[in-house]
Chains A and B, each alone.
Chain A
Amino acid sequence: MHSSAPAPSEEEIRGVVTPLASLEGPLLPMLHALQDTWGFVPQAAVPVLADILNLGRAEVHGVISFYHDFRRNPAGRHILKICRAEACQSMGANALAESTLQKLGIAWHGTTPNGAVTVEPVYCLGMCACAPAVMVDGKVVGRVDDARMDRILAEVGV
C-alpha cells in the first residue's frame, strides 16, 4: 500500500480543490477533499494550494501539520482508531490498546506489515456511556473487549 499508486498530478489536484475555492475559509474543506480522494494529503498539493489561495507554502504546510487528521503518507487499507480518553480509560481502554498493539506488533500510528490496518489513537468518539470504544473506517463499536477486538481484527484481515 505504501508504494504502488502513482503520485497525483497537479492537474488532478486542481480538479479536486478548485470547485471549493469560492467558500469562505476554503483550506480545510480542500484538505479534507484531498484526503477523501487519495487517503492522504499529497506533498504535491502544497504548492498548488499555496497558488490557489495566495498563501506561502510554509503556511499551507503549517496548517496541514497542525491537524491530527491529515496524513502525509498513505495508511493501511483499514483504519482502526482506539479511544484513549478518560471515559474509555475508566472501562479498561489502556489495557485494550496495549494488548491490541502488542498483538499486531506495532506502535501507535503504525501499520501492520501486510498493510491491512493502521492503528491510531483518538480522543473521544462520543461513546462515553458505552466505553471502551473504537472506530473502524468510520464505524463505531462500543463496549469493546478482547473478544470483540479479535473479531474486528479478523474482519479487517489481520
Chain B
Amino acid sequence: MKIFVPGDSAAKALGADDVADALAREAKARGLDVQLVRNGTRGMVWLEPLVEVDTPEGRIGYGNVTPDQVPDLLDGKLNSLGRVEDIDWFARQTRLTFARCGVIDPLDLDDYAANGGLVGLRRALGMTGSQIVQEVTASGLRGRGGAGFPTGIKWKTVAEAEAPQKYIVCNADEGDSGTFADRMIIEGDPFSLIEGMAIAGLGVGATRGYVYLRSEYPDAIRILMQAVKIARQRGLLGPDVLGSGRAFDMEVRTGAGAYVCGEETSLLNSLEGKRGTVRAKPPLPALQGFLGQPTVVNNVISLATVPVIFEKGAQHYADFGLGRSRGTVTLQIAGNVKRGGLFETAFGMTLGEVVNDIGGGTATGRPVKAVQVGGPLGAYMPVSKFDTPMGYEEFDRQGGLIGHAGLVVFDDTADMLRMARFAMEFCAVESCGKCTPCRIGAVRGVETIDRIAQGDAAAIPLLTDLCETMKDGSLCALGGFTPFPVMSALTHFPDDFATLQEAAE
C-alpha cells in the first residue's frame, strides 16, 4: 500500500509531519506494509494535509487530515475526496510547469524521468545553442519573476557575448508576500529547476550556475541541495551532462534576509559577497553580471518551465495564453481567501474569477475589499476592476502589475491607509540605500501618511507628489513600484484616507 503525505513546508505547517508519524506508527502496529512517500504539494493548500492513497482506481485524496483520523483512514472509514485529479479545483488547471509537483517523490530521479523529466534536456543536447535559444523565444516565455521580459531575448544576449566564463543565476529570492510558487516547485519538483538551468547553460554556453535561495525557506534549501547532489551523482550535472561531453554544474547559495536581493543586480552583488545594493543599468547583467561575466538571471518558475517547453515543443506552450502573455501563469491565491493555493492556468482568466470562483471569496466570509496583485510592490485592485484579465499588458493598462502572480485577498475590515503606510514602512526597512528617492522617500512617505491619518488633508497632494518622485527617480522596482500599492490605496479607497479632519468638520 502506497500512501502520500506531502513534505511541502506549507503542508508541514498545517501538521503533515504529525500525520506521517501517526501513519507510520499505526501501520507498524497493524503489521501493514505501507510505503510512505513524502511528495510535494498539489497546491491545494486549503486541503492540506492532503493524504493520498494509491488504489487501482487512482490516487484517492483525504483532505485536512489530522493524526487522530489516521486509524479511520486505514480502516477505509474516513470520507474521501475521490480521485485527486477529479477534484474540481485541480481538474480545472492546465499544469505544465507544475505537472509533476505533488505527484512524484521530489528526490527520486527515476520517478522524475518516468513522468516526462529529462526528455527536454535530451532533446536540447541534440540542438545547437542558437536552436535552443530560438526554441525559448518561440515559446513566448516571459520572465515569471515579475518584469515579464522575454526570456529568449535575454538568453540571446548572453549567448552572443564572448567571455571566458558565463553563468546561469536562478533568482529564488521569493520575498513577495502572497507568492510561494518558487518554494513549492523547489520542494515538490527540484529536478525541473536543475534541468531548466542545464538547458539554459547549453543554450548560452554557460558551464556554471547558482541558485540564490532565500534563507526564510530552510526546507527548500535542504531539498534543493540534496537534489543537486543526486543530480551530480547520476551524471545530470558535472563535466559530462548525460554523457554528452558537455559540462554544467551548479551550487545553491543562501540569502540573508534582504528583500531587495530579489532585484537582479543586488542579487548579483550579494552572490559576490557584497552588500546587496542595486547596480545601475547599463551594463546589463546579460553582458556584465556575476563577477563581471555574461549572466542569465532568471526566476525559478521561468527556468523550471524550460524543460516542459523542450519536452512538448515551443508551439505547444505558446498555444496557451492571451495576447502577448503566452503559456501558463502560476497564480498563487493567498491571504484572506477560502480556497487558497497554487492554481496554474493559461493567461486570460479574470481577476474576479480567480478570487471568487476559484478562491471561493474570503476565509472570513465577509465581502472582498481589495486584492493586492504582484506582491508588496503591486497595486491594490478594488472589486470594480475584477473584470481585468490576468495578462501582463491587461494589468498594466489598469494601473497594476501581475508580478510573480501572487494575489492577496483582503476583506472589508482592511484599513487601506494602514496598508499604504505599511508599503512605505516596508520600503524604508528594505531599501538598499543606494538611491535617494527610495531611501529618504520611503521614510518621508510614512511620515506623510501619518499626517493624513491625523487629519491633515493637505498632506495628500504631498504624498501624490512624493510617489511621482519615487516612481521616476528610483534605481529599481523597490522605490519605483512602492507607489503602486500606496497610490492605488489612495485612489480606490479615498474614504480610508478621509480621516479626523472631516469627522471634526
Contact = CB atoms under 8 A, between A and B. Distances in A.
A and B assemble together: yes
A44 to B, nearest CB: 19
Interface in B210-265: 215-219, 251, 253-259
Most buried by A among B13, B276, B333: B13
A124 B256 CA distance: 13
Contact of B336 (A28, A29, A90): A90
B448 interface: no
A142 B10 contact: yes
Interface stretch (A2-10, A99-107, A110-118, A130-138): A130-138
A127 B253 CA distance: 22
B340 A130 contact: yes
Interface string A62-99: 11001111100000000000000111111100000000
Interface in B174-211: 174-180, 182-184, 208
A133 B48 CA distance: 15
B336 A91 contact: yes
A50 B14 CA distance: 44
Contacts of A149: none
Given A68-B258, A91-B336, A128-B177, A63 B274 contact: yes
Contacts of A86: 177-178, 335, 372, 376, 408, 419, 422
A19 to B, nearest CB: 15
Of B178, B183, B259, which is in contact with the most chain A CB atoms at under 10 Å from its CB? B178
A87 B408 contact: yes
A126 B426 CA distance: 17
A95 B120 CA distance: 48
Nearest to A142: B13
Interface stretch (B26-34, B155-163, B318-326, B409-417): B409-417
Most chain A C-beta atoms within 10 Å of own C-beta, residue among B259, B408, B419? B408
B177 A53 contact: no
Nearest to A26: B273
A126 B180 contact: yes
Contact of A129 (B176, B180, B290): B180
Nearest to A55: B273
Contacts of A90: 335-336, 408-411, 414
A123 B177 contact: yes
A53 B337 contact: no
Contacts of A158: none
A138 B432 CA distance: 26
Contacts of B253: 25, 28-29
B10 A85 contact: no
Interface in B404-453: 406, 408-411, 414, 419, 422, 426, 429-430, 432
B305 interface: no
A122 interface: yes
Given A86-B178, A86-B422, A123 B335 contact: no
B13 A87 contact: no
Contacts of B342: 129
A141 interface: yes
B174 A25 contact: no
A155 to B, nearest CB: 14
A130 B14 contact: yes
B272 interface: yes
A31 interface: yes
Contacts of B406: 87, 128
B12 interface: yes
B340 A62 contact: no
A126 B217 contact: yes
Contact of B273 (A63, A70, A128): A63
The secondary structure that dominates the B interface is: mixed
Contacts of B218: 138
A76 B161 CA distance: 50
A128 B13 contact: no
A62 B14 CA distance: 39
B174 A126 contact: yes
B2 interface: no
A127 B372 CA distance: 16
Given A69-B257, A141-B13, A127 B180 contact: yes
A87 B177 contact: yes
A129 B177 contact: no
A125 B220 CA distance: 11
Contact of B216 (A24, A135, A139): A135
Contacts of A32: 215, 254, 256
A127 B336 contact: no
B334 interface: yes
A16 interface: no
Nearest to A23: B251
B344 to A, nearest CB: 14
Contacts of A119: none
A28 B270 CA distance: 8
Contact of B183 (A25, A126, A139): A126
Given A25-B271, A90-B410, A127-B10, A70 B426 contact: no
A27 B273 contact: yes
Contact of A67 (B175, B256, B271): B256
Interface in B359-373: 363, 372
Given A125-B216, A131-B334, 9 more contacts: A25-B271, A62-B275, A66-B258, A69-B215, A87-B408, A124-B177, A126-B179, A130-B10, A141-B13
Interface of B: 9-10, 12-14, 45-46, 48, 174-180, 182-184, 208, 215-219, 251, 253-259, 270-277, 290-291, 332-337, 340-342, 363, 372, 376, 406, 408-411, 414, 419, 422, 426, 429-430, 432
26 contacts: A24-B272, A25-B290, A25-B291, A28-B253, A32-B215, A32-B254, A32-B256, A66-B258, A67-B256, A68-B257, A69-B215, A88-B177, A90-B411, A90-B414, A122-B216, A123-B177, A124-B177, A125-B217, A126-B9, A126-B182, A127-B9, A127-B10, A127-B13, A127-B180, A128-B340, A129-B337
Task: Give the top 10 A-B pairs by smallest Cβ distance, nearest first.
Answer: A27-B273, A129-B340, A85-B177, A128-B334, A142-B13, A67-B256, A68-B257, A129-B45, A90-B335, A69-B257
